[in-house]
Structure 1
Amino acid sequence: MTEDRQILLGRIVGLYGVQGWVRLESWTEPRMQIFRYQPWLLKTASAEKEFHGSRGREQGKGLVAELPGIADRDEAASWIGAEIRVLRSVLPRPRKDEYYWVDLEGLAVVTVDGTVLGTVSHLIATGANDVLFVRDGEKERLIPFVTGPFVKDVDFDARRIVVDWDPDF
């Protein structure tokens, strides 16, 4: 885990009003948490800028935000589509047996017998439980991220996750 790694938290999806506010999509849980993590590093295909002190609120079914230093709709329009990122170091430490998905990505996955299954490419939430996508070349396995029955150990020092999983499945 590198503290200077940029973590994607959301993106700007539109404009709100005439004073430079924007609509955004937050991937934090709960979604209003996005405002706790500062500064925001906004990046589009043509620009990148750091914003300190962004604030916002729920508006209808979404969120709206004020970007410091952006005072009009035209200037705000240039940030539509921008990714909202923060440095990993601004996120709070996870509690025992809790993990940020981004910290799990790239870890090796091995069975309790030592068979290497591949590396975690990404995770998804299914509602019932989160699922690890483990890739080994062309082969991809989907393993429920359920501690106890399937996930036996997460070892960041060794950069691996030990699972009780059939390598042929």
Structure 2
Amino acid sequence: MAYFDVGKIVNTHGIHGEVKVMASTDFPSERFAVGQVVYVNDGQKPPVKLTIKTHRQHKQLELLTFDEINDINEAEKYKGAQLQITQEQQEPLAEGTYYYREIIGLKVFSLQEEYLGTISEVMQTGANDVWVVRRENGKEILLPVIQDVIKEVDLAQGQIIVDWLEGLEEQ
């Protein structure tokens, strides 16, 4: 079964088994809603199924408790572990939108078929995402994810075609 990361347990919170989670999903309020199932993967054994008991936000973190974890001692062993979902749990996305895991690793080409590099990271900026393109020389290009720049995303071919606008210089 394929699992996909939706967050990382960064610490415990209090003595009742609550954990602090750094979300890596675009849909934290839906993904971490009460009653939702996630899997905790600490890399040592098969992922453990957990049912979300409570969810609240605190600063940039999600605070969660689970039906299966009752105190800090049980929660402590999962510090640093990934929270994951199965492929069947993924929500279908609107046309023209993608999961980060689908974008990271794609090769980027200009309209003139010049190879620019590979997507290494997705940054959220508020107005639009920015895709970080790692060049072969190690430098980076920041591509705003807007229609004027991103012309085609071809997941089957593993590539993105961009309109290399003047001003999108290497960092």
Unaligned runs of 5+ in 2: none
Equivalent residue runs for 1:26-45 within 5 Å: 26-35=23-32, 39-44=37-42
Pairing 1:25–2:15 present: no
Instruction: Provide the aligned C-alpha RMSD in A.
Output: 2.8
Alignment of structure 1 residues 1-169 onto 2, 5 Å:
4=2, 6-35=3-32, 39-44=37-42, 49-58=47-56, 61=59, 62-138=61-137, 139-147=139-147, 149-165=148-164, 169=169
TM, length-normalised to structure 1:
0.79
Amino acid at match of 1:76: A
Aligned residues: 165
What is the TM-score with the length of structure 2 in the denominator? 0.78
**Structure 1 residues 123 and 60: CA distance shift in structure 2, 3 A:** closer
Gaps (5+ residues) in structure 1?
A: none
1:116-139 residue CA offsets vs partner (Å, 9 max, x unmatched): 111111110122321111123223
Q: Distance in 1 between matches of 2:25 and 2:127?
A: 18
Counterpart AA for 2:47? K
1:143 Cα deviation from its structure 2 partner = 1.3
Q: How high is the sequence identity, in percent, across the aligned residues?
A: 27
Name segments (4+ residues, structure 1) moved above 6 Å: none
1:24 Cα deviation after fit? 2.6
